[in-house]
């Protein structure tokens, strides 16, 4: 891989309110919820270090000071930088725009509440191998099983991305789902308006419409700590992978 950045950089979105996990998240951000005896973020950072990343930017907001206090400036050998939304949450894309001064020319974006049993470096390698692309998104052939499918794939590209709105019927053309890990070029984020609340789905939809978002199929399902069942599923997945500590 010819990396656009040395060392390879991962960016974790960890600033959400975690409303689906209340009352757990009233005083503890999802990134720090205990999973198999440790804060979830510890598992994620260790996996990124093992994958070969050399630094991590943490986009924080809700209870961001708690994340800083727990993780510090270095964890699992990874230097950690922080970008804080401030008093008003900026959404997933808005948080990335706030982090712009810290972003490498190419980086991997993932979520602070997702456990992804795959090679986290794969989207970044794919993006660096295709200079015409602006992003490379891991996708899972979901067919509406785990959550509402939001992605149509054509060959090596995301042909269409559409986040399903509440109450909208399923779209049969969307049979894949965003896996939760996307490699991006910094210029994509630099083009966004500063200090403006914005969801990452706007970026995904735009890049797909322009034919600049590559699709990277993943065979194994993803896990999220967005519910009590999700927490149990993540613990089971860690245990099955031999990662959980007794």
CATH node for 9-135+181-195+221-240 = 3.90.550.10
- Among candidate residues 222, 138, 123, 208, the one with its CA nearest the CA of residue 173: 208
The pLDDT tens digits of the residues spanning 149-195 come to: 999 999 999 999 998 776 667 788 899 999 999 999 999 999 999 99
pLDDT tens, per residue, the chain with 246 residues: 544 447 899 999 998 877 787 788 788 999 999 998 899 999 999 999 999 999 999 999 989 999 999 999 999 999 999 999 887 889 999 999 999 999 999 999 999 999 999 999 999 999 999 999 999 999 999 876 778 899 999 999 999 999 877 666 778 889 999 999 999 999 999 999 999 999 999 999 999 999 999 999 999 999 998 888 888 999 898 887 766 554
User: CA dihedral in degrees (167, 12, 9, 136; nearest 10)?
Assistant: -10
Structure tokens at 150: 């939001």
State the residue for tokens 């959400």.
Answer: 16
Provide the pLDDT for residue 189. 98
- Among candidate residues 12, 39, 63, the one with its CA nearest the CA of residue 231: 39
Provide the pLDDT for residue 245. 53
- Using an 8 Å Cβ cutoff, are 85 and 106 in contact? no
State the residue for tokens 């795959």.
Answer: 118
Query: What are the residues facing 122 on neighbouring strands?
Result: none
Crossing angle of helices 64-71 and 40-51, rounded to 10°? 60
DSSP type of residue 222: P
Could you give phi then psi for residue 227, rounded to 5 degrees?
A: -155, 170
Q: Tell me how many helices (H) and strands (E) the chain has.
A: 7, 14
DSSP β-ladder status, 135-141 and 106-111: unpaired
Provide the pLDDT for residue 166. 61
Provide the pLDDT for residue 106. 98
Provide the pLDDT for residue 3. 45
Provide the pLDDT for residue 33. 92
Could you give phi then psi for residue 80, rounded to 5 degrees?
A: -115, 130
């Amino acid at each position: 891989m010819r990396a656009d950045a040395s060392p390879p950089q991962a960016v974790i979105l960890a600033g959400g309110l975690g409303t689906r996990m209340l009352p757990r998240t009233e005083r503890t951000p999802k990134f720090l919820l205990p999973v198999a005896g440790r804060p979830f973020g510890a598992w994620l950072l260790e996996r990124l270090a093992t994958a070969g990343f050399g630094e991590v930017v943490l986009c924080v907001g809700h209870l961001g000071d708690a994340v800083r206090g727990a993780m510090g400036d270095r964890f699992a050998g990874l230097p950690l930088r922080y970008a804080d939304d401030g008093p008003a949450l900026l959404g997933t894309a808005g948080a990335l725009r706030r982090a712009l001064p810290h972003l490498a020319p190419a980086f991997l974006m993932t979520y602070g509440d997702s456990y992804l049993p795959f090679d986290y470096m794969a989207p970044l390698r794919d993006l660096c191998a295709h200079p015409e692309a602006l992003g490379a998104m891991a996708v899972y052939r979901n067919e509406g099983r785990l959550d509402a499918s939001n992605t149509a794939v054509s060959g090596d590209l995301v042909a269409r991305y559409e986040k399903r709105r509440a109450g909208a019927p399923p779209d049969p053309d969307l049979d894949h789902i965003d896996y939760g890990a996307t490699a991006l070029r910094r210029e994509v984020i630099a083009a966004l308006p500063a200090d403006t609340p914005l969801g990452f789905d706007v970026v995904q939809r735009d890049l797909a419409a322009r034919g600049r978002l590559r699709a990277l199929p993943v065979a194994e399902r993803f896990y999220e700590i967005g519910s009590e069942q999700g927490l149990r599923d993540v613990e089971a997945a860690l245990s099955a992978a031999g990662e959980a500590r007794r």
